[in-house]
Structure 1
Amino acid sequence: MTSPARTSPPTAGATARPPRPSGRPNGQWKVDGTTPLNHNEAFKQESDPLAVRERIESVYALQGFDSIPDDDLHGRFRWWGLYTQRRPGIDGGRTATLEPHELEDRYFMLRVRIDGGALTTEQLRTVAGISEDFARGTADLTDRQNVQLHWVEVESVPEIWRRLEAVGLSTTEACGDVPRVILGSPVAGIARDELVDPTPVIEEIQRRFVGDPSLANLPRKFKSAITGHPSQDVVHEINDVAFVGVEHPTLGAGYDLWVGGGLSTAPRLAERLGVFVAPEQAPDVWHGVVRVFRDYGYRRLRNKARLKFLLADWGAERFRQVLEREYLGHPLPDGPAAPVPDQPGDHVGVHAQKDGLRYVGVSPVVGRVSGPQLRQVADLVEAHGSGRVRLTPHQKLVVLDVPPERVDPLVEALEGIGLTARPGPFRRRAIACTGIEYCKLAIVETKATASRAITTLEERLGDLAHLTPLSLHVNGCPNSCARIQTADIGLKGQIVQDDDGDQVPGFQVHLGGGLASQDRDEAGLGRTVRGLKVTADGLADYVERVVRRYDADRAEGETFGQWAHRADEEALR
């Protein structure tokens, strides 16, 4: 998808105004005017970031990496899902001291946008082929329902786009200051207990607004989630906007609207606006929330530019008023909160669909797969009577539409290629970010570290099968792509000191976080203990120690999160 060039901000709802009479401007277009206050804002106005596609196809893919200017390479390329990846051999202690050109390789991470995580086997096979032909066989399933590939050269990007778009996929706005991929329930349209199918809403938002130039210059990234399933399976509390299925006593099935969630270094959970959104209204309400962010979001400092900071200052009541009066032109009815989930939202295992078929959720290890493995998945799924899969916000994969008599053979076949429908408790609940292997921001390795820890823990803690599975989230830096603050045990990568006084890779520990879809009565952020850090090599030892202490100390029915928040610091070390 291409778009016409635009050199100035959209005029609708964003008219330039005189600066504030006092105080420092925050770069809010509707308050301070549209004059850029930093270089990021300047380059977004100088040239529509989406227009970089034409230069990639006609110049950079022909002339190579060295022909790419800085604002395109480190800026506008993100609007098409491209980041330079980390150069091998640079240790984590140097991450914060080197310039981008010193950290980066001449290869790219490419993010394939998959709204709602929905893939046909033809699309999955296409992604597998791109991985095999252009990405050295790499592939990761992310906790945003995307697929990430590595080792991509700019010369290959036009052919990659051609193959993706031939089967209805794209990398449009997979990164950048734009509406990112829309999380959707992996069992949308098929679950027996679904309140409302979000698929039409996701498809309309995608059709109307992805690649829209008027939304291509937001203050920062904008994350969305939509589900109609009672497990609330899209981690809605940590998205900029989320629609959660609910039954209104008089208006029927629709959505509860949440706004302003996000993690990173300043975590904040989203808030309910207290409104009910009918399914047919949801795309316009989504559009309204995005435009509030575009016009009122803070642009002066990028570390204060997410929607959560605006909501923290305004509060939910004022946000609702601005949304209704300035962007929708009508009030929304008050609505009830969705009930607390009574089931996990990862969809692992075998489950009945509403049409009598089955869906099968399987777990790789912390999202790490490969191109050949994805090709095998496509072949096996088709051989067992299905043609659809879904990716989940928990780095899992769900096969839809399996005839009951084909379930057991499919489960065994997937097990044979490393994808299990019967994972152990730590494998089931673990996720990990990309880590230092490819990411320029990372300080420590994550995927292999998490994998080793999972194997060790499931060997050592087999006698604690009576415990509810615990979530283990491993992140390579402070930015929380792996949602460390919302895990039972969250690990933030940093350099730590071992027992010999040496500087080694390790983690700061967060304990007792969780979301409503993770066996929690309510969402909450994890607790940190002053000075509590573990080395990467000592990770499994620490987790074993704290889990056994929880088992010994817990009260009847007490969850790990409840215990972790009340326990003495010494018990958590």
Structure 2
Amino acid sequence: MYRYDEFDAAFVEGRTAQFADQVKRRLSGELSEDQFRPLRLMNGLYLQLHAYMLRVAVPYGTLNSRQMRKLAHIARTYDRGYGHFTTRQNIQYNWPRLKDIPVILGELASVEMHAIQTSGNCIRNVTTDQFAGAALDEIIDPRPVGEIIRQWSSLHPEFSYLPRKFKIAITGSPNDRAAIRFHDIGLQAAANAAGDVGWEVWVGGGLGRTPMIGKLINSFVPNEHLLAYLESIMRVYNRYGRRDNKYKARIKILVHEEGLETIKGQVEAEFAEVRGGVLTLPSEELDRISAYFEPPAFPSQSATRIDVARELILDPAYGRWLEHNLNSHRQPGYASVTISLKPVGGAPGDATDAQMDVVADLAERYSFDELRVTHEQNLVLPHVAIADLREVYDALVASGLAEGNAGLITDMICCPGLDFCALANARSIPIAQAISHKFAAPERQAEIGDLKIKISGCINACGHHHVGHIGILGVEKKGGELYQITLGGDATQDASVGKILGPGFEADKVPGAIETLVDTYIARRQSADETFIAAYRRLGEAPFKEALYGNG
């Protein structure tokens, strides 16, 4: 994985010292909260309902055991013993004291981490497929390009004060596990007629109060011109993006209002000016960065497969974990392991300091000292020998991390909601917990199969409810909390935005409503192999709406 060079180290050290002085002036009263706000946001520090919240960047979702142990130490020493992993492949601390923030940032810098550009109207943390560099279906590892984009975008003088925040996602696989079509810019690996690998560029995707699927603006941009093309898009957005209305400030609105062809014409005009200039990416530089992401020297393995059906009989819990939490690896004899942060009744995405330490130990011992954070709020050991799976599982069991539910109904995305967030209209975590209890039985989860529920506590959609097969949105109505249900969302290459079924439900009615939808699906599916999203696309919303609301 990438290691800081001298510039990176000096850059982070300088920013940490600068912010330490700003915090000191805030604590002394020399700076008001209004004066302090833009300064803290530049360093990933938010003011939530009850306390400050610090968001730490995990570029392209990759970290090592030393970094994970540091995250555990920070949770234990400066917070309340846990951290929250987010859909941006970051980690958030919900209870740090302002006086401790400079110390925390110094601790992070000691392991090559920081909180820069995790907030504010700038280019945010670049996200990728959690199985990057390991997946069997991958065309190319996207992380070297992700690192190059990180370097290009960090404190970019032209794009530090954009009309609104800007998010980039990148995947090296034809199977999109990074939700690239719902980002301001999405990049997907592609090959041209000559067999050269480059990038499809999608623009104008996003969620929030106006969910939109990104549009393909260029079907092939080679590596050498990628930065120039991205810069061209950013210049057009920075010039024409609306600054008079924050709800219409994202690039998705610009693309929608002006039309893709108009925007493409502007981008191509910019590109014609900068192409071949200082933004050209030399192949030698790409090779240099790629060397940091070279796969491990995998020892050959005698065990190249595992009999999941047999394990389901001998040890059902272990068999379920094997069935759902493994991803095929490009190296024979290995698998990528998803560590679910969705225990029954838990807060999705949370991990205790002790659990983080255990995961760090497992990564060091069994996964070539490498870890991933997923945009679905789980963790991944990307390179585990099949022969070691049982030992890894047993260690996870002992730490409460062995839930075999990846991709199932209890593997929910959930924002912090009104329990923490000052923007939220309703609670999210208790809804997720109630649904988790409702469908806790492994047999019930297996019967349902692949089903993604995503929950947001407000229209900002941090829980990605728009792209859940079943989405749940908390809204405020007459001082109470109601929950709208959407169906048919999908964040993969078959991208779709869910549709609202009807009036919202009170909190205690939501689990029953979800059960009604699930029962309708099971009764109407063509076979046990037809997934919920496939059945919905075949049947449409009518049978589900009728089941929930009747004919009236």
TM-score under structure 1 length normalisation: 0.78
Residue aligning to 1:364: 341
Could you tell me which amino acid in structure 2 is paired with residue 75 of structure 1? P
Structure 1 residue 506 displacement after superposition: 3.1
Cα distance 1:156–1:407, how it changes in 2: closer, same or farther (>3 A)? same
Matches within 5 A, 1:291-440: 291-329=235-273, 348-354=325-331, 356-365=333-342, 366-384=348-366, 386-420=368-402, 422-423=404-405, 426-427=408-409, 429-440=411-422
2:509 maps to 1:538: yes
1:262 alignment partner, SS class: coil
Within the candidate set 508, 532, 536, 1:560 is matched to 536
Structure 1 residue 356 displacement after superposition: 4.6
| Higher mean C-alpha deviation, range 296-305 or range 69-78 | 69-78
Output one character per residue of 1:461-505: Cα deviation in whole Å (capped at 9) or x when no partner.
8457344421111111111111111111111112458xxxxx643
| Higher mean C-alpha deviation, range 115-124 or range 405-414 | 405-414
Output one character per residue of 1:518-558: Cα deviation in whole Å (capped at 9) or x when no partner.
xxxx3111111332x12222221111111112222345644
Give RMSD over aligned pairs: 2.7
Structure 1 residue 329 displacement after superposition: 2.8
2:457 maps to 1:489: no
Residue aligning to 1:548: 519
Structure 1 residue 516 displacement after superposition: 2.5
2:221 maps to 1:239: no
Output one character per residue of 1:313-357: Cα deviation in whole Å (capped at 9) or x when no partner.
22222222211212453789xxxxxxxxxxxxx994253243753
Return the alpha-carbon distance in structure 2 between the equivalents of residues 539 and 65 of structure 1. Answer: 47
Output one character per residue of 1:90-133: Cα deviation in whole Å (capped at 9) or x when no partner.
xxxxxxxxxxxxxxxxx311111111100011111111111111
Could you tell me which amino acid in structure 2 is paired with residue 483 of structure 1? H
Could you tell me which amino acid in structure 2 is paired with residue 474 of structure 1? I
Cα distance 1:56–1:516, how it changes in 2: closer, same or farther (>3 A)? closer
Residue aligning to 1:513: 489
2:505 alignment partner, SS class: strand
Return the alpha-carbon distance in structure 2 between the equivalents of residues 407 and 465 of structure 1. Answer: 21
1:369 alignment partner, SS class: strand
1:537 alignment partner, SS class: helix
| Higher mean C-alpha deviation, range 417-426 or range 145-154 | 417-426
Cα distance 1:201–1:269, how it changes in 2: closer, same or farther (>3 A)? same
Could you tell me which amino acid in structure 2 is paired with residue 165 of structure 1? A
Output one character per residue of 1:256-312: Cα deviation in whole Å (capped at 9) or x when no partner.
110001111111111011430113332332222222221221111111100001101
Aligned-residue sequence identity (percent) comes to 27
Cα distance 1:465–1:213, how it changes in 2: closer, same or farther (>3 A)? same
- 2:483–2:507 contact (8 Å) kept in structure 1: yes
Could you tell me which amino acid in structure 2 is paired with residue 120 of structure 1? N
Within the candidate set 134, 140, 144, 1:190 is matched to 134
1:64 alignment partner, SS class: helix
Return the alpha-carbon distance in structure 1 between the equivalents of residues 369 and 18 of structure 2. Answer: 36
- 2:22–2:36 contact (8 Å) kept in structure 1: no
Return the alpha-carbon distance in structure 2 between the equivalents of residues 279 and 170 of structure 1. Answer: 27
Within the candidate set 117, 140, 145, 1:201 is matched to 145
2:113 maps to 1:142: no
- 2:189–2:200 contact (8 Å) kept in structure 1: yes
Return the alpha-carbon distance in structure 2 between the equivalents of residues 54 and 162 of structure 1. Answer: 8
Return the alpha-carbon distance in structure 1 between the equivalents of residues 459 and 29 of structure 2. Answer: 31
Residue aligning to 1:100: none
Which of the two has greater helix per residue? 2
Within the candidate set 85, 96, 118, 2:48 is matched to 85
2:419 alignment partner, SS class: coil
Output one character per residue of 1:204-223: Cα deviation in whole Å (capped at 9) or x when no partner.
12123212232211000000
Structure 1 residue 53 displacement after superposition: 6.4
- 1:429–1:472 contact (8 Å) kept in structure 2: yes
Output one character per residue of 1:232-253: Cα deviation in whole Å (capped at 9) or x when no partner.
1110111000101222222422
- 2:82–2:352 contact (8 Å) kept in structure 1: yes
Matches within 5 A, 1:12-91: 56-61=19-24, 64=27, 66-87=29-50
Return the alpha-carbon distance in structure 2 between the equivalents of residues 257 and 59 of structure 1. Answer: 39
| Higher mean C-alpha deviation, range 170-179 or range 364-373 | 364-373
1:83 alignment partner, SS class: strand
- 2:324–2:404 contact (8 Å) kept in structure 1: no
2:66 alignment partner, SS class: helix
2:472 alignment partner, SS class: strand
Could you tell me which amino acid in structure 1 is paired with residue 546 of structure 2? E
Matches within 5 A, 1:461-480: 462-463=443-444, 465-480=446-461
Could you tell me which amino acid in structure 2 is paired with residue 372 of structure 1? A
Cα distance 1:280–1:358, how it changes in 2: closer, same or farther (>3 A)? farther
1:57 alignment partner, SS class: helix
2:474 alignment partner, SS class: strand
- 1:359–1:399 contact (8 Å) kept in structure 2: yes
Could you tell me which amino acid in structure 1 is paired with residue 523 of structure 2? A
Could you tell me which amino acid in structure 2 is paired with residue 206 of structure 1? R
Return the alpha-carbon distance in structure 1 between the equivalents of residues 28 and 248 of structure 2. Answer: 32
Within the candidate set 141, 153, 160, 1:216 is matched to 160
Cα distance 1:78–1:126, how it changes in 2: closer, same or farther (>3 A)? same
- 2:501–2:541 contact (8 Å) kept in structure 1: no
Structure 1 residue 372 displacement after superposition: 2.4
Structure 1 residue 228 displacement after superposition: 0.4
Return the alpha-carbon distance in structure 2 between the equivalents of residues 72 and 56 of structure 1. Answer: 13
Structure 1 residue 56 displacement after superposition: 3.4
Output one character per residue of 1:391-441: Cα deviation in whole Å (capped at 9) or x when no partner.
111111111222332222112212332223621764554110011121101
1:196 alignment partner, SS class: coil
1:75 alignment partner, SS class: helix
Could you tell me which amino acid in structure 2 is paired with residue 119 of structure 1? L
Could you tell me which amino acid in structure 2 is paired with residue 405 of structure 1? A
Cα distance 1:391–1:268, how it changes in 2: closer, same or farther (>3 A)? same
Residue aligning to 2:499: 527
Could you tell me which amino acid in structure 1 is paired with residue 248 of structure 2? K
Cα distance 1:168–1:287, how it changes in 2: closer, same or farther (>3 A)? farther
Structure 1 residue 379 displacement after superposition: 1.8
Return the alpha-carbon distance in structure 1 between the equivalents of residues 161 and 17 of structure 2. Answer: 18
Return the alpha-carbon distance in structure 1 between the equivalents of residues 463 and 219 of structure 2. Answer: 30
- 2:409–2:439 contact (8 Å) kept in structure 1: no
TM-score under structure 2 length normalisation: 0.81
Structure 2 gaps of 5+ residues are 5-13, 277-322, 343-347
- 1:161–1:171 contact (8 Å) kept in structure 2: yes
Structure 1 residue 381 displacement after superposition: 2.5
2:169 maps to 1:229: no
Within the candidate set 435, 438, 445, 1:456 is matched to 438
Cα distance 1:428–1:280, how it changes in 2: closer, same or farther (>3 A)? farther
Cα distance 1:424–1:303, how it changes in 2: closer, same or farther (>3 A)? closer
Return the alpha-carbon distance in structure 2 between the equivalents of residues 164 and 246 of structure 1. Answer: 36
Return the alpha-carbon distance in structure 1 between the equivalents of residues 386 and 520 of structure 2. Answer: 42
Aligned length: 482
Could you tell me which amino acid in structure 2 is paired with residue 410 of structure 1? V
Structure 1 residue 569 displacement after superposition: 3.2
2:76 maps to 1:132: yes
